[in-house]
Chains A and B, each alone.
Chain A
Amino acid sequence: DAGVTQSPTHLIKTRGQQVTLRCSPKSGHDTVSWYQQALGQGPQFIFQYYEEEERQRGNFPDRFSGHQFPNYSSELNVNALLLGDSALYLCASSLRPPGHEQYFGPGTRLTVT
């Protein structure tokens, strides 16, 4: 039973660029949530997707957007990258909202230079 997978593992981008991160949920899960984890901090909720729609959103600017596909996989897009966007981006999957029993992927380490 495959768990949550994310790609790529690491990514280096330049300020102002755009980035797309990908997530495949755990088998049987249909809800995907994205988190940003700065070094030494707890994860911060970005948004949650269910039935291909953004269902709720944390306190992140519109530069952060997402998408969910019919197969439940999801993408996180960040535009106009800032140095402060450097972090570990985590995807978590769950079964239907509220989706509190979340299973996390290994994350994508994004470095903005």
Chain B
Amino acid sequence: QQQVKQSPQSLIVQKGGISIINCAYENTAFDYFPWYQQFPGKGPALLIAIRPDVSEKKEGRFTISFNKSAKQFSLHIMDSQPGDSATYFCAAFDTGNFNKFYFGSGTKLNVKP
């Protein structure tokens, strides 16, 4: 059973546009939701993370929106740039029960100049 479902699999956005990636989870025990950015040949880099007690968190051009009742969260990249072209992974973690870290399947973002 896939713990975290991520969509779309790939995304093409024009420079300056908004990129939106969505994730859904089932386990209500999850209480930490990070997003990672991965460039080819590199390890994932932590971008931004959110706890379920807030509905939105913004860091620069990156915003996480969180809907606890729907068990969904999304990453918004404002003013997308060609340098943002990478694969993005959402993840979910249960910090209270020392549980495992579950990643989504990834979204390959291509920002056209």
Contacts and interface: CB of A to CB of B under 8 A. Distances in A.
Contacts of B105: 41-42
A106 B106 contact: no
B41 interface: yes
Interface stretch (B56-64, B75-83, B96-104): B96-104
Task: Please tell me the size bucket of the interface on A.
Answer: 20 to 34
Nearest to A91: B43
B89 interface: yes
Contacts of B93: 98, 100
Interface in B86-113: 89, 91, 93-96, 98-106
Interface string A92-104: 1000011011111
Contacts of A21: none
Contacts of B44: 43, 90, 104
Contacts of A44: 103
A41 to B, nearest CB: 6
Contact of A56 (B46, B49, B98): B98
B98 to A, nearest CB: 5
Contacts of A100: 32, 34, 93, 95, 101
Nearest to A106: B43
B59 to A, nearest CB: 14
Contacts of B18: none
A4 B106 CA distance: 22
Most buried by A among B95, B101, B103, B106: B101
Interface of B: 6, 32, 34, 36, 41-46, 49, 89, 91, 93-96, 98-106
Given A42-B105, A98-B95, 19 more contacts: A41-B106, A42-B91, A43-B89, A43-B103, A44-B103, A45-B101, A45-B102, A56-B99, A56-B100, A58-B100, A90-B44, A98-B99, A100-B32, A100-B95, A101-B46, A104-B36, A104-B43, A104-B44, A107-B43
